Structure 1
Amino acid sequence: MIHRRQASRGLAAALATLVVLTAAGCSSKAKSTDDSGTGAGGVKSGKGVTDKTIAVGALTDMTGVYATLGKSVTQAQQLYVKQVNAAGGICGRQLELTVRDHGYDPQKALSAYTELEPKVVGYAQFIGSPFVAAVKQRVDGQDKGVVLPQAWSASLLGSPYIRVLGATYDVETINAVDFLVSEKGLKAGDKLGHVYFEGDYGENALAGSRHAAGKAGLTVVEQKIKPTDNDMSAQVAALKQAGVKAIVISAGPRQAASLVGVAAATKLQVPVIGNNSAFAPQLLGTQAGPALEKMYWFASPSLPIGADTPAAQKLVTDYKAAYPGDSLDNGIVAGWTAASVFGEALKKACAAKDLTREGVDKALLTLNSYDAGFGMKHDFSDPKAPSSRESVILQPDKSVTGGMRTVREPFVSDAAKSFTPKAG
């Protein structure tokens, strides 16, 4: 559901400019949440809420670098909405999920956010850490709609409205490196390769590998790439020459498949571990499939879609029935979890008779032990912290449901426990 530092600043500046321009195009009404009133059931309401409906936004990537993730996240959320509505809705109102595809394009993402801002109570989906970060000031200052992004950058922490579900990329990477040290033979004095996307996602993950390396006595060999870079031959050659004993990849599924495939072909037989968005089960059907099953692992903020839990089993059955032609992946888990968290916040806001944006946010703050059924308990009471520091280590396996097998149950490494993510 993802530059060089000077170039990163340039992207941030460009995004900030777009935010100003798109915000300037809003009506005066769209700039305020003071247009609340009391509606059906004596419940206060504001933007996105009527006596009959509650509109929730989804800003997704169906055509860009995370198209596979975006499709799964969106369809899982549409399934959630359908089931909730069939059971009577929330607060006597039907949910409406309004979806916009930004194709992982900054201008499209910000234009879509501006379009939906006056129409929805909040967002159960927003893919792309840089895009969420670009609207953060606007969300916090004037819009005040809860955003549950499918992005895990620590720069998103600290906002009372943008809430990260699960470990941030830095914490997740620290846990991933702990797995390499404790179970894959990485030891003090070894070199650890790290291939990462330029920008928010990759650089936040890099902060984690640097911290973990410092604790474990490792040296990080860095390879920065762009989302448009699909052939990892040059990166593998550089890491092989450097003599790395393991590799972390913080990029997309295509880049992970290329990295592992090229490493296997060139006899760089070292364990490779990725962040949660660096795998899609569809890769198992490619030429890289055998190598992925043999030498690739990835960290996840939840148990996989094929987990042996009642919630996972029901979701698999329901999703297959709704989308019989589509494969199963962890985007479904991410989408369902975010939708169910948003739904729970709406239910609590209804109980408090306040479905305004501020009311939904206050309700979210009361969720301090929420379990969506995938092995993690989420605590939303502290906006400065991710909802969890736990990670699950998964391994590609085409023989199991969803193509992912759990090899390490939810855990928090000692290095992650003592680490403080740098909020934006």
Structure 2
Amino acid sequence: MNNSVLKPARRGRASIRGLAIVTVAVCALAACGDSTDDNSGASGDDTTILIGGTVSLTAAAASFPEVKQAQEAAVESINAAGGINGRQLKIEVCDSKFEVREELGCFRSLTEKNVAAIVGPVIIADTGVTEYQVAQRADTAVVGSPALQPGELDSDVAFPLGASVVGGTYGAIYDLIKSGAKRISIFGDANNPAADSIVNLSEEALDSVGMSPVNVAIGDTSADPTLRSAAVKAASGGTDGIIITGSPPSMSKSVPALRAQGYTGLIATIDSALPGPVIDAIGPAGNGMLVAAQTAFPEQSPASDQFIADMEKYAPSAPLSFFSIQAWSSVKLFAAVAEQNEAYTASDVLKAFQNISTPIDIGTIGPYKTVDVTSPITDGYVPAPRMFNPEVQLGTMQDGNLVADGGFINPFDELKSVN
């Protein structure tokens, strides 16, 4: 078995101080977010293809500039190799500023510019429902989203990158059980609504194999700054495995708090809970922590080698993280489908993604197809009927690095085999 290592954020530091994926009330009137490129509303022409992306770039609470950098690196790489059937690819990335009105405004702005697709959007302030409604009214495919919000998993124009937060959670639970845990607790975050989703998904995953959580501990740094009390609860009752989630301030404290209480059992989490600064903050307490990701760990495959090469050449100061490899992969997935189907307009791209019958394999995600695919999760807490690629990559944290363990697996199928 060849293990692979991801050294997150070693070449730069994104301003990621609060990955709070917040579900808030939908804004009725939304202003357009600022675009980072000036295309003056131009769509693609006979020699170019224009795609759009959106992510928070400038908000102090949550910014992910490596997403934009990785998407631009992928575009540069594709164009250097001749483009998409000779057409040069262009990308316009809209700054959503970690605000509901800006996320919605970015979707409106990009569809008004007739982009061929919205690629790899990172929605963290809203639920995704109204954003995808905008895309659907414009018949514009949303391709390669990490699908951090429930509204991204049931729109007819949604083509998520991978297993989303749903598959990641099921993968983390499977990894705990596979690794020997028999008494599993859940450690959540009172200040992060997304953590509520993972708590509920964890309970569903455990229930699917006839298990119930020993404890459900919800940490609150405003009342328990070190999270000691929550850690004591999570580790009590003979717990030998814990799935843990939360915003960066919580994750930075919860894992060390568990170890400080003498807990030596298994800990698991998902990729979106581990931006580079959190890994640094956790330090040695994170050694051996299990991680479930919807993309490959860099250096795990030839395609990951290409990701590393593209980042070194076109975005040398950007962090290598799960966020950057997801963003890079979203552009590569779009390009592979567009090239194969000679799809250059929004309507043609949407039709192409609706009819992928032969799996597309870009290496950094599981093989991707949309025809004759049934999602393993069609009801429950977060229904995900548009989950076309349920596979996840499992690995561990070792000395501040993320080390892949084997290839992609389908956690839903694997859990069915658990007695």
Correspondence for 1:406: 404
Map Cα deviations across residues 87-120 of structure 1 (whole Å, 9 max, x no partner). Answer: 3332543222111222322122122222222112
Residue 144 (structure 1) shift: 1.8
Correspondence for 1:422: none
- Pair 200,53 (structure 1): closer, same or farther in 2 beyond 3 Å: farther
Secondary structure of 2:147's aligned partner: coil
Secondary structure of 1:219's aligned partner: coil
Q: Partner amino acid for 1:297? A: L
In the alignment, the residues of structure 2 paired with residue 126 and residue 262 of structure 1 have an alpha-carbon distance, to the nearest angstrom, of: 33
Q: Is the 8 A contact 2:186 2:199 kept in 1?
A: no
Correspondence for 1:372: 362
Map Cα deviations across residues 18-41 of structure 1 (whole Å, 9 max, x no partner). Answer: 2x4239x9xxxxxxxxxxxxxxxx
Aligned counterpart for 2:349 among listed residues 357, 360, 363: 360
Secondary structure of 2:299's aligned partner: coil
Q: How many percent of aligned residue pairs carry the same amino acid?
A: 19
Aligned counterpart for 2:73 among listed residues 64, 76, 79: 79
Correspondence for 2:141: 146
Q: Is the 8 A contact 2:214 2:237 kept in 1?
A: no
Q: Partner amino acid for 1:85? A: N
In the alignment, the residues of structure 2 paired with residue 405 and residue 191 of structure 1 have an alpha-carbon distance, to the nearest angstrom, of: 23
Correspondence for 2:308: 316
- Pair 398,172 (structure 1): closer, same or farther in 2 beyond 3 Å: same
Secondary structure of 1:355's aligned partner: coil
Correspondence for 1:158: 154
- Pair 225,237 (structure 1): closer, same or farther in 2 beyond 3 Å: closer
Residue 418 (structure 1) shift: 6.0
In the alignment, the residues of structure 2 paired with residue 75 and residue 231 of structure 1 have an alpha-carbon distance, to the nearest angstrom, of: 34
Correspondence for 2:120: 125
Where in structure 2 are there 5+ consecutive unaligned residues?
Answer: 1-15, 33-40, 376-384
Q: Is the 8 A contact 2:128 2:150 kept in 1?
A: no
Q: Is the 8 A contact 2:155 2:386 kept in 1?
A: no
Q: How does 1:47-58 map to 2 (within 5 A)?
A: 48-58=43-53
TM-score (norm: length of structure 1): 0.77
Residue 390 (structure 1) shift: 1.7
Residue 277 (structure 1) shift: 0.5
Q: Relative CO higher for 1 or 2, CA cutoff 8 Å, sep ≥ 6? A: 2
Q: Is the 8 A contact 1:256 1:274 kept in 2?
A: no
Q: Is the 8 A contact 1:301 1:390 kept in 2?
A: yes
Q: Partner amino acid for 1:128? A: I
In the alignment, the residues of structure 1 paired with residue 229 and residue 276 of structure 2 have an alpha-carbon distance, to the nearest angstrom, of: 25
- Pair 127,416 (structure 1): closer, same or farther in 2 beyond 3 Å: farther
Q: Is the 8 A contact 1:298 1:394 kept in 2?
A: yes
Query: Does structure 1 residue 249 correspond to structure 2 residue 244?
Result: yes
Residue 260 (structure 1) shift: 0.7
Give aligned pairs, total.
Answer: 373
- Pair 227,115 (structure 1): closer, same or farther in 2 beyond 3 Å: farther
Q: Is the 8 A contact 2:337 2:360 kept in 1?
A: no
- Pair 243,193 (structure 1): closer, same or farther in 2 beyond 3 Å: farther
Q: Partner amino acid for 1:60? A: V
Secondary structure of 2:215's aligned partner: strand
In the alignment, the residues of structure 2 paired with residue 344 and residue 226 of structure 1 have an alpha-carbon distance, to the nearest angstrom, of: 44
In the alignment, the residues of structure 1 paired with residue 249 and residue 291 of structure 2 have an alpha-carbon distance, to the nearest angstrom, of: 14
Residue 338 (structure 1) shift: 0.6
- Pair 298,349 (structure 1): closer, same or farther in 2 beyond 3 Å: same
In the alignment, the residues of structure 2 paired with residue 107 and residue 223 of structure 1 have an alpha-carbon distance, to the nearest angstrom, of: 33
Q: Partner amino acid for 1:387? A: F
Residue 290 (structure 1) shift: 0.7
Query: Does structure 1 residue 332 correspond to structure 2 residue 324?
Result: yes
Aligned counterpart for 2:291 among listed residues 298, 316, 319: 298
Aligned counterpart for 2:90 among listed residues 56, 77, 96: 96
Aligned counterpart for 1:274 among listed residues 269, 273, 278: 269
Task: Compute the RMSD of aligned alpha carbons.
Answer: 3.3
Secondary structure of 1:393's aligned partner: strand
TM-score (norm: length of structure 2): 0.77
In the alignment, the residues of structure 1 paired with residue 222 and residue 107 of structure 2 have an alpha-carbon distance, to the nearest angstrom, of: 24
In the alignment, the residues of structure 1 paired with residue 82 and residue 89 of structure 2 have an alpha-carbon distance, to the nearest angstrom, of: 10
- Pair 380,224 (structure 1): closer, same or farther in 2 beyond 3 Å: farther
Q: Partner amino acid for 1:359? A: D
Query: Does structure 1 residue 136 correspond to structure 2 residue 132?
Result: yes
Q: Is the 8 A contact 1:174 1:416 kept in 2?
A: no
Q: Is the 8 A contact 2:226 2:253 kept in 1?
A: yes
Q: Partner amino acid for 2:330? A: A
In the alignment, the residues of structure 2 paired with residue 300 and residue 99 of structure 1 have an alpha-carbon distance, to the nearest angstrom, of: 24
Q: How does 1:201-280 map to 2 (within 5 A)?
A: 201-214=194-207, 215-219=209-213, 221-224=215-218, 232-240=227-235, 244-280=239-275
Residue 47 (structure 1) shift: 8.1
In the alignment, the residues of structure 1 paired with residue 106 and residue 120 of structure 2 have an alpha-carbon distance, to the nearest angstrom, of: 12
Q: Is the 8 A contact 1:80 1:339 kept in 2?
A: yes
Aligned counterpart for 1:61 among listed residues 56, 76, 82: 56
- Pair 235,171 (structure 1): closer, same or farther in 2 beyond 3 Å: same
Q: Is the 8 A contact 2:286 2:397 kept in 1?
A: yes
- Pair 48,254 (structure 1): closer, same or farther in 2 beyond 3 Å: farther
Where in structure 1 are there 5+ consecutive unaligned residues?
Answer: 26-45, 420-424
Residue 165 (structure 1) shift: 1.4
